[in-house]
Amino acid sequence: MSPRPYVEVTDLKKTFDVSKPWLNRVLEGAPRQYLKAVDGVSFDIRKGETFALVGESGSGKSTVARMVVGLLNPTGGEVTIDGISMTDPGQRAQRAKLRRKMQMVFQDPYASLNPRWRVDRIIAEPIRAFNVVEGEANIVARVGELLTLVGLHPDDGKKFPHEFSGGQRQRVAIARSLASNADFIVCDEPTSALDVSVQAQILNLMRDLQEKFGLTYLFISHNLAVVRHMATRIGVMYLGRLVEVSDAKEMFTHPRHPYTRMLLDAVPDLAMSGRARIPVAGEIPNPITPPTGCTFHPRCPLANERCKAENPLPINGVACHAVVEGRTLAHPVAA
């Protein structure tokens, strides 16, 4: 019997009201419009692992991340972290304690640090907010320690964020997320704003820190190669739904959902091995008026009548009628 997962997400839903302003609706007779950004997503994360959510723009992966940490209120479903519900209003007090255990690293290192604060004050903010250490001298010492930990110099604390490069800023953001001794860190595209050589530094740093402190990561990315490097398990999202969840190795060697396969085939091939690939068809539809049934069916080479009518539920981590029924496409290896 495996222990209870650290993070449990059950049937999470988020609907945004994207209606036009009231006056336009009245004049044009347009109805209210809703965008189902996240539609029934369930997964769990074990302690010490890296769970990655991948997907293209509009897949709802960032919305899930924000709901998990509590920056957005879900329309439905539940998030439980370390046995404490993030959504149950009765567990407010326990949730306050949980706050210091989880932090977030954001995509844009230029927007995630207050431009008018010096770096030491930025890193000290969570220390002060959660009373992690007492006394000004101890706080200074702790900030210096954190800066060293992420590969910066303690003297760098006296600088403003704009004096740093993108990669160094992301290091500061990581130091801030560790300041309250957090053990669960949600990373929303942490390297997509960085250059490759700097991305490698940050990814290596994140792995080192995970090893050192036993951190648990929820890693959001659109870059499959980065996810391949970081993740223990992977969830693939398409138009607000989770279409496949599997172990990282499995995912890359035996992708099951047709969308996962298409994504893998779309990644440029650096090794130039000339591996056989199914050409990618179509684009993501408008999420306000998603296709019926399985939302992927207009682009899917395996789609049939059932896929157009019935939304597939995840079975063994894959939400696809074709996989369950054993329908397969002759893979164009010979072609």
Partner 1 sequence: MALMADVLAPQDAFDPVALNLLDGFAHPMERGMGSNMLFVMGSDEQGRDIFSALFYGTRLSLLVGVASVIFSMVLGIGLGLLAGYLGGKIEMLIMRVADIQLSFPAILIALLIFGVARGLIPPQQYETTAVFVIIIAIGLSNWAQYARTVRASTLVERNKEYVQAAKLMGISGFGIMARHVLPNVMGPVLVIATINLALAIIEEATLSFLGVGLPITQPSLGTLIRSGQKFLLSGEWWILFFPAMMLVILALAINLLGDWLRDALNPKLR
Partner 2 sequence: MSEPVISVRNLQVEFVTRRATLRAIDGVSFDIHKGEVLGVVGESGAGKSVTGAAIIGLIEPPGRISGGEILLNGRRIDNLSPEEMRKVRGRKVAMIFQDPLTSLNPLFRVGEQLVETIRTHLQMNERQARDRAVELLTEVGIPAPEKRIDGYPHEFSGGMRQRVVIALALCAEPDFIVADEPTTALDVSVQAQIISLIKKLGRERGMAVMLVTHDMGVIAETADRVAVMYAGRLAEIGPVRDVVQRPMHPYAKGLMGAIPTLEASTERLVQIPGSMPRLSSIPRGCAFNPRCADVFARCHVDQPLPLSVQGRQVACHLYENERLKTAEVAR
Binding site for partner 2 (CB under 8 A): 56-57, 165, 167-168, 195-201, 203-204, 207, 222-226, 228-229, 248-249, 252, 262-273, 279-280, 283-284
Per-residue CA distances from 322 to 24, 110, 279, 290, 314 (Å):
43, 44, 19, 20, 12
To which H or E segment does residue 85 belong? strand 84-85
Q: Specify the residue for token string 């009518």.
A: 309
Reduced 3-state DSSP string for 230-261: HCCEEEEEECCEEEEEEEHHHHHHCCCCHHHH
CB of 50: closest distance to partner 2 in angstroms? 13
Q: At what angle do helices 136-149 and 166-178 cross, to 10 degrees?
A: 130
**Nearer Cβ to partner 1, position 27 or 129?**
129
Other Cβ atoms within 10 Å of 188 Cβ, number: 22
**Nearer Cβ to partner 1, position 99 or 277?**
99
**Nearer Cβ to partner 1, position 86 or 245?**
86
Contact partner at residue 108 from partner 1, partner 2, none, CB < 5 to 8 Å by partner kind:
partner 1
Q: Residues 6 or more apart from 134 whose CB is under 8 A from it?
A: none
Is 69 near partner 1 (CB under 8 A)? Answer: yes
Total interface residues for partner 1 by CB under 8 A? 27
Segment lying near partner 1 (by CB under 8 A), choices 51-59, 86-94, 121-129, 277-285? 121-129
**Nearer Cβ to partner 2, position 177 or 260?**
260
Q: How far apart are CA 152 and CA 330, in angstroms?
A: 53
Q: Specify the residue for token string 């059950």.
A: 10
Do 86 and 268 meet the contact criterion of CB atoms below 8 Å apart? no
Binding residue (CB under 8 A) for partner 1 from 3, 21, 31, 115? 115
Segment lying near partner 1 (by CB under 8 A), choices 11-19, 95-103, 287-295, 326-334? 95-103
Is 112 near partner 1 (CB under 8 A)? Answer: yes
Q: Site residues (CB under 8 A) for partner 1?
A: 69-71, 96, 99-100, 102-104, 106-108, 111-116, 125-126, 129-130, 160, 162, 173, 176, 180
